[in-house]
Amino acid sequence: VSPLPDILSPAFAADPYGAYRTMRESAPLIHHEATDSYLVSRYEDVERVFKDKAGEFTTDNYDWQIEPVHGRTILQLSGREHAVRRALVAPAFRGADLQEKFLPVIERNARELIDTFRHAGEADLVGGFATRFPVLVIADMLGLDRADHDRFHAWYTTVIAFLGNLAGDPEVAAAGERTRQEFAAYMIPVIRQRRDALGDDLLSALCAAEVDGVRMSDEDIKAFCSLLLAAGGETTDKAIASVFANLLTHPEQLAAVQEDRSLIDRAFAETLRYTPPVHMIMRQAATEVELSGGTVPADATITCLIGSANRDESRYHEPDRFDLFRTDLTSTNAFSAAADHLAFALGRHFCVGALLARAEVETAVNQLLDAMPGLRLADGFTPAEQGVFTRGPQLLPVRFSPASG
């Protein structure tokens, strides 16, 4: 059995998958000293923690993990309080709102970004598109001032650094808390103005939403918007980059998707399984619990290793192979709660933005493929992923036949 590298080591950040396999096989429950948390790596354990059928797990860990940057969000809530809050925000992320109000926003932002490089014949799909597109979409959905987009991007980058600060760097922590103040100073006046003049945007919908007599306060809405920038920005960014990295390194599958665009959905689902944007999500044990034959004490933090669960050989045939045609993805779509993968988690906190993410990825991949005939990686470049908490390629230089019009 090979030794387990520390999850905070550079070797792990470079390639966690070998370590995940060793953990699943020989140490499916281990206490990790530096983060003082129990690492859970098998599909069945991660699934059980997320589904939480017996009420054994809470999200109380988010009180210290995200409260300092976002304030109190839907992720910290449970029971009826969570159900009501979820009902307040969920309609904006599906159905008619998504199709009629927000799909045009998604399509326009994709087109405008692609127009900045479609004539060049070369681009970095990460810096030139993936890291910018989802934040632009969310800010536009909320109806925020386009002139402030660079600030949103800077804020969300600081927040993500805070969330991924597993080693506890005090400067990263302080920057995250400063961001919370700055975001509040920006957002609260915008929310107050919007309440006085409701429009057709997401922020207005959040101001007006009411379920069982409950409405969101200015502080609730500000915290939710802060969460949206991070939860919907970083994740979708990594998803788009990873879909392209996976297809570009499997040219026969890229050719199939170019030919038949209905396969984008499967490429997205398989990407979420094979290279999920979020590799770890934490929970807290409400009571002492048994997991994979070991015991987790009450109140302990549990780190669910999604990146490992999604490669569990007891769940997937040849899990280390990227194959959008694989038959052990039970559904054909990327967001099914029946869980082809655990990239969106499961249970009550299952990603509320899953359909929005799918619409963004589908639109982006479709438009990029249209604009980039002959798409290939730049000569000699091999995509490499990075990141322990969120993970994806940092650079994706490509070449293609430039648009003439």
Task: Quickly tell me which residue has 């619990």 as its tokens.
Answer: 289
Angle at 274 between CA 269 and CA 279, to 5 degrees: 105
Taking the complex as a whole, how short is the minimal distance between the CB of residue 1 and ligand HEM, in angstroms?
A: 30
Taking the complex as a whole, how short is the minimal distance between the CB of residue 53 and ligand HEM, in angstroms?
A: 15
Residue closer to ligand HEM (CB basis): 231 or 400:
231
Residue 261 CB contacts under 8 Å (≥ 6 apart), including other chains = 366, 369
Taking the complex as a whole, how short is the minimal distance between the CB of residue 76 and ligand HEM, in angstroms?
A: 8
249: left (phi over 0), alpha (psi -120 to 50) or beta: alpha
Taking the complex as a whole, how short is the minimal distance between the CB of residue 278 and ligand HEM, in angstroms?
A: 5
Q: Report whether 233 contacts 158 (CB < 8 A).
A: no
3 state SS of 283: strand
345: left (phi over 0), alpha (psi -120 to 50) or beta: left
Residue closer to ligand HEM (CB basis): 159 or 351:
351
Taking the complex as a whole, how short is the minimal distance between the CB of residue 115 and ligand HEM, in angstroms?
A: 23
51, 86, 94, 195: residue in contact with ligand HEM (rule CB under 6 A): 86
The whole-angstrom separation of Cα 308 and Cα 23 is: 9
Taking the complex as a whole, how short is the minimal distance between the CB of residue 274 and ligand HEM, in angstroms?
A: 13
Taking the complex as a whole, how short is the minimal distance between the CB of residue 345 and ligand HEM, in angstroms?
A: 4
Taking the complex as a whole, how short is the minimal distance between the CB of residue 399 and ligand HEM, in angstroms?
A: 26
Longest C-alpha distance within the chain, in Å? 64
Residue closer to ligand HEM (CB basis): 350 or 381:
350
Residue closer to ligand HEM (CB basis): 253 or 390:
390
What b/e sequence results for 114-123 when a residue is b if at least 16 CB atoms lie within 10 Å of its CB, and e otherwise? beebbeeeeb
241 scored as a contact of ligand HEM (CB under 6 A): no
Strand runs labelled E in 33-80: 37-40, 57-58
Dihedral sign of CA atoms 117, 118, 119, 124 in order: positive
Which among 279, 283, 246, 251 is positioned nearest to 361, based on CA atoms? Answer: 246
Q: Report whether 385 contacts 245 (CB < 8 A).
A: yes
Taking the complex as a whole, how short is the minimal distance between the CB of residue 232 and ligand HEM, in angstroms?
A: 2
Query: Which residue has the closest beta carbon to ligand HEM?
Result: 353
β-partners of residue 303 are: 39, 282
Taking the complex as a whole, how short is the minimal distance between the CB of residue 140 and ligand HEM, in angstroms?
A: 12
Residue closer to ligand HEM (CB basis): 7 or 46:
46
β 376-377/397-399 pair status: antiparallel
Residue 214 phi/psi, 5-degree rounding, is: -100, 135
Residue closer to ligand HEM (CB basis): 128 or 232:
232
Spell out, one character per residue from 20 to 59, where the chain touches ligand HEM: x when CB under 6 A holds, - when not: ----------------------------------------
Residue closer to ligand HEM (CB basis): 159 or 227:
227
Using CB under 6 A as the binding rule, the residues of this chain from 196 to 235 that contact ligand HEM are: 227-228, 231-232, 235
39, 66, 74, 223: residue in contact with ligand HEM (rule CB under 6 A): 74
Residue 298 phi/psi, 5-degree rounding, is: -55, 145
Residue closer to ligand HEM (CB basis): 47 or 118:
47
Angle at 211 between CA 206 and CA 213, to 5 degrees: 110
Spell out, one character per residue from 277 to 296, where the chain touches ligand HEM: x when CB under 6 A holds, - when not: xx--x---------------
19, 105, 257, 357: residue in contact with ligand HEM (rule CB under 6 A): 357
142 scored as a contact of ligand HEM (CB under 6 A): no
Using CB under 6 A as the binding rule, the residues of this chain from 327 to 356 that contact ligand HEM are: 343-345, 349, 351-353, 356
The whole-angstrom separation of Cα 362 and Cα 262 is: 9
Residue closer to ligand HEM (CB basis): 194 or 283:
283
The whole-angstrom separation of Cα 105 and Cα 92 is: 13
Which pair of tokens denotes residue 372? 């980039």
Binding footprint of ligand HEM on the chain (CB under 6 A): 74-75, 86, 138, 227-228, 231-232, 235-236, 239, 277-278, 281, 343-345, 349, 351-353, 356-357
